[in-house]
A and B are shown apart, each in its own frame.
Chain A
Amino acid sequence: MRSLYSAASGMAANQYKLDTISNNMANLNTTGYKTQDVQFKDMLYAQINQRPDVTALTGRVTGDGLAIGHGVLATGVSKAFTQGSLQETGQKLDVAIEGDGFFVIEPNDTAQGLEEMALTRDGSFKISVDEFGDNYLVASNGMAVHDMINDDRIVIGSDIRLDTVSINESGLVTAKDVEGESVELGRIGLVKIGDPNANLQAVGENLYRLVNGFNADQVTEDLTDLPTNERPMIKQGFLEQSNVDMTRQMTDMIVAQRAYSMNVRALQTADQMMGLANNLRG
Chain B
Amino acid sequence: MIRGLYIASSGMMANERAQDVISNNIANANTVGYKSDTGVMRSFSEELIYRMGNEGGNPPATRQVGTISYGTVLEEVLPRFAQGGLTESDNPYAHAIVDGPVDPDNPYRRTYFPVQVGDRTMYTRDGDFRVQSGSDLLVTSSGDPVVPVDATTGEAVADARIKVVTTDGKHYDYEFVNADGTNYTGNATPQFGAVDILDSSKLKKYGDTYFSGGQEAPVNGGSKIVAGQLETSNVDLASSMVSMMNVMRSYEANQKMIKTLDGTLEKAVSIGRLG
Contacts and interface: CB of A to CB of B under 8 A. Distances in A.
Interface of A: 1-4, 6-7, 9-10, 13-14, 17, 35, 37, 39-45, 47, 54, 57, 60-63, 66-72, 75-76, 78, 80, 82, 99-100, 194-195, 197-199, 211, 213-215, 217-218, 229-230, 255-256, 258-259, 262-263, 265-266, 269-270, 272-273, 276-277, 279-281
B142 A41 contact: yes
Nearest to B238: A262
B213 A42 contact: no
8 contacts: A1-B19, A45-B207, A60-B76, A61-B108, A78-B130, A195-B164, A213-B134, A265-B241
A1 B12 CA distance: 12
B130 A197 contact: yes
B168 interface: yes
Nearest to B170: A100
A198 B126 CA distance: 19
Contact of A215 (B27, B91, B133): B133
Interface string B80-97: 000000000011000000
A215 B137 CA distance: 11
A248 to B, nearest CB: 9
Contact of A9 (B27, B32, B133, B201): B27
B223 interface: no
A219 B144 CA distance: 24
Interface stretch (B58-66, B147-155, B185-193, B251-259): B251-259
Contacts of A273: 15-16, 19, 248, 251
B20 interface: yes
A272 to B, nearest CB: 6
Contact size class for B?
35 or more
Contact of B23 (A41, A211, A266, A281): A266
Contact of A265 (B75, B76, B244, B258): B244
A4 to B, nearest CB: 8
Contact of A195 (B131, B141, B142, B237): B131
Contacts of A69: 20-21, 24, 27-28, 37, 205, 207
A265 B248 CA distance: 11
Q: Which 4 A-B pairs have the closest CB atoms?
A: A10-B27, A80-B90, A69-B24, A44-B207
Contacts of B75: 54, 57, 60
A57 B42 CA distance: 10
A224 to B, nearest CB: 16
Nearest to B259: A280
B231 interface: no
A75 B141 contact: yes
Nearest to B21: A68
B71 to A, nearest CB: 12
Given A35-B90, A42-B209, A262-B29, A6 B237 contact: no
B11 to A, nearest CB: 12
Given A39-B141, A266-B23, A71 B77 contact: no
Q: Which has the most chain A C-beta neighbours within 10 Å: B15, B19, B136, B205?
A: B19
Given A42-B24, A62-B78, A280-B258, A259 B213 contact: no
B23 A6 contact: yes
Interface string B201-240: 1101111110001000000000000000000000001001
B207 A61 contact: no
Nearest to A46: B20
B17 A262 contact: no
A198 B207 contact: no
Q: Which has the most chain B C-beta neighbours within 10 Å: A45, A57, A213, A218?
A: A45
Contacts of A265: 26, 241, 244
A214 B134 contact: yes
B45 to A, nearest CB: 8
Nearest to B244: A269
Contacts of B164: 195
Contact of B31 (A35, A41, A198): A41
B178 interface: no
B170 to A, nearest CB: 9
A272 B248 contact: yes
Contact of A3 (B20, B29, B237): B20
B57 interface: no
A68 B209 contact: no
Contacts of B247: 269
Contacts of A279: 255
Given A211-B133, A262-B241, A39 B32 contact: yes
A10 B28 contact: yes
Contacts of A78: 91, 130, 141
Nearest to B230: A39
B169 A230 contact: yes
Contact of B136 (A215, A230, A259): A215
Given A72-B27, A72-B28, A277-B12, A198 B133 contact: yes
